[in-house]
Amino acid sequence: MYPNQIDTSPRLRRLILLIFWVVAIYCIYSVVSAALIKRSTGVLNVSSNVIGASIIISQDQRDSRLAGTGSASVRLKPGKYQIYVYANDYQRAEEVTIYKGSVIDRKINLIGAASKKNGNGIFDLLPYIGPGADYYISSTPITEGGGSGPSITITEYDNKSGQDALEWIRSLGYDPNDYIINHVPMTAGNGL
């Protein structure tokens, strides 16, 4: 035995060697898998103007995952995804396509939610009946037992009256793309 050696039993030596190889193989595996993930995925960066807004990623026929709040950065396999942003009673959804190696930045603003401290924006002006009662613009009320909306519903006589309703929204300085808008054809049941 050399002076700088402490007697180590063969069992302990074998254990140390085993631990070394297990950890070494795991380290190599994690680096290789990270490289493969980087090659096979794209990055989606999502941010919102509302701190605390829930950012949820979903895909057709697949479940939804909370990616983060306020902002999120996720790696996704190539494909078409839906981004949902929820804050208080406001929501907005967009679709995005991810490619291998792509880096996509999306800023999804909840205009209504951001302006809520100064009133409810366009929602304060609803319901609104268009000229000639060709369209009717209403908001989804906040419901008991939880919230959804408010989204905008345009009950329209035809396509042109639907476009007129959108034009009315634009004339007030609001962008229809900032809202969830449901178009409902005017029928005997819901007409004016």
Partner 1 sequence: MSKRYVYLLVLLFVLVISAILLNNLLLGNAKQIRLKAADPLSSAVSRTLGSSGSSDGLAKEGQDYTVDYKKSFDNNTWFVVRIEPGSGKSFDPGVIILRDNHGLILPVVGPGSIFSKDITSILPNDVVQFLNDGGYINVPESD
Judged by CB under 8 A, does residue 182 bind partner 1?
yes
Report, in Å, the least distance between residue 74 CB and partner 1.
5
Judged by CB under 8 A, does residue 124 bind partner 1?
no
Q: Which of these ranges, 53-61, 113-121, 157-165, 171-179, lies near partner 1 under the rule CB under 8 A? A: 53-61
**Sign of the Cα pseudo-torsion (61, 66, 72, 77, in order):** negative
Q: Measure the CA angle with vertex 26, ends 21 and 30; round to 5°.
A: 150
Judged by CB under 8 A, does residue 59 bind partner 1?
yes
- Could you say which of 120, 128, 148, 176 contacts partner 1 (CB under 8 A)? 148
Say whether the peptide bond before residue 127 is cis (omega within 30 degrees of 0): yes
- C-alpha–C-alpha distance, residues 158 and 64, integer Å: 35
Judged by CB under 8 A, does residue 136 bind partner 1?
yes
- Could you say which of 75, 100, 107, 170 contacts partner 1 (CB under 8 A)? 75
Q: What is the largest CA-CA distance in the chain?
A: 104
* Three-state DSSP state, 3: coil
Q: Which two tokens stand for residue 99?
A: 């490619």
Contact code string over 90-109 relative to partner 1, x by CB under 8 A: -x-x-x--------------
